[in-house]
Structure 1
Amino acid sequence: MLCIHGGAGSGKTLAVNVCLRGLEPDEDVRRIAFRARPTARAVRHELFTALDLAGQPPRHPSEFDGPLKTALAERPRTFLVDEAQWFNGEAFEYFRYLWDDLSMRLAVIFVGGEGCYTVLRREPMLFSRMFIWQHVTRLAPDEVAERVPLFRPVWAGADPAGIAFADQHAAHGNFRSWARLTAHVRLALARAGRERVDRKVLGWAFGRLGGFA
């Protein structure tokens, strides 16, 4: 089990998905996400659905364990559990319960926001089983200068000073913000018939973004 955590828009889920495709392209990866605080029953239902088990989900929680364990023992599987900061102790405990079964070859990757580490830290039995903790932070200015030109061709020929200006006033080292800005910059270049990013193009793109400073 491992945990990837960091601020919103830092590229955590994208990075995990890209790495999984690169490392294990044929691996059986099941992606699970909750947008509110799930109960253990909700976790069981989601796992039942994610594993494509036949029939209707059982009515009683104890009836889930047999089908889930049978399916998980068939072959190695990876659960990518997104928005893990929403979980409570009961929900986390169910993942630990499945992972501890020696008949299974199960990897669990928890991905969550900045509060994810704090939430998991409150669950000592699960916390002690974590093999890797990876904190994803904003890109530093030198990382922006190095990596943004590799992100999309539109930035490859851009003036480094322009990239630094865009990061300072709009993207702020946030990967999702860079993705949004890139989409607007490409549109601006197409509409203006330009080939290179300059301050005028950036100004037009900034006008389409909220909250830049």
Structure 2
Amino acid sequence: MAEAIGQAMAAEGAVCVFGDPGRGKTAAVRMALAEPPAGWKATWVPVPVRPSVAGMRRAVFEALGLPGRFPHTSALADAAVAEALGQARVLVLDEAQRLPGPCLEYVQSLWDHPGTRITLVLCGAGSERALARLPQLASRVGAWQEVPRLTGAQAATAVTGFHPLWGTVAAADLAWIDRSCAHGTFRTWAALTTHLQNALLTVADAAVDRALLRRLFQRIAPPQ
């Protein structure tokens, strides 16, 4: 992931990060952009549900943290956004699978503007299918990065990088957690992390052992 995004930044290109729900796409991109190179900034643009071009314009404006109220005309908003994007920036569109063709055209217009320096990262389950709605943008994606189900070894590496709590757990126990509960799904690991943190804070003398973890597994598993 870091390599794909790094190469895109060097070319001011685009990356599509896709894969089944719960695979940890967003977390993987966040880790890859945790320390962007000098001179670069990363901006996350949450894609609204049922987005319109006007909604995307506002989402980008607000994500950039631009001063003042949102402009009353699209021309003023576009000018303010283009000026802010004149500095090297990674623009991450999370839940990009929601983007219809007109919104993708708006995103491409930001990328194509002669005064902007943008690397695009379109992230989400089905984002590769969304890009099919705008072939002229899809054809310019430099890397299609699929995030598959994690193997046991990958899960251990991912979760210890995700939260230091897992760095205190033996490798054999991490493998057991993945086999017994998470099954290579990062979203399950993230939920388990939250429950484990709460248990350690609220239960006196709680220890990260298999008895505690089995109880937490029951909170994560859906009812039968």
The TM-score with structure 1 as length reference comes to 0.81
Letter matched to residue 136 of structure 1:
V
- 8 Å CA contact 2:48, 2:55 repeated in 1: no
Residue 184 of structure 1 is matched in structure 2 by 195
Is 2:130 the counterpart of 1:134? no
Aligned partner letter, 2:46 = A
Aligned partner letter, 1:51: L
The alignment status of 1:117 with 2:118, answered yes or no, reads: no
Structure 1 partner of 2:105:
93
Displacement of 1:140 in angstroms is 1.7
Shift of 1:85: 0.6
Q: Which secondary structure state, in structure 2, belongs to the residue aligned with residue 125 of structure 1? A: helix
Counterpart in the other structure of 2:69: 56
2:215 to 204, 208, 212: 204
Q: 1:23 to 1:155 in 2, by over 3 A?
A: closer
Select which of 38, 42, 47 maps to 2:51: 38
Tell me the distance in 2 between the aligned counterparts of 1:209 and 1:80: 29
2:95 matched to 1:83?
yes
3-state secondary structure, aligned to 1:98: helix
Shift of 1:186: 5.2
* Kept after mapping to 1: 8 A contact 2:48/2:56: no
Work out the percentage of aligned pairs sharing the same amino acid.
Answer: 32
Q: Is the 8 A contact 1:154 1:196 kept in 2?
A: no
Alpha-carbon distance change, 101 to 156 in structure 1, aligned in 2, over 3 angstroms: same
Structure 1 CA distance for aligned equivalents of residues 92 and 160 of structure 2: 29
* Unaligned ranges ≥5, structure 2: 1-13
Amino acid at match of 1:131: G
Counterpart residue identity of residue 29, structure 1 = A
Matched residue count: 209
TM-score (norm: length of structure 2):
0.77
> Radius of gyration: which is bigger?
1
Partner of 1:68: 81
Residues 89, 206 of structure 1: alpha-carbon distance in 2 compared, 3 angstrom cutoff: same
- Any stretches of 5+ residues in structure 1 without a counterpart? none
* Contact 1:189/1:197 (<8 A) preserved: no
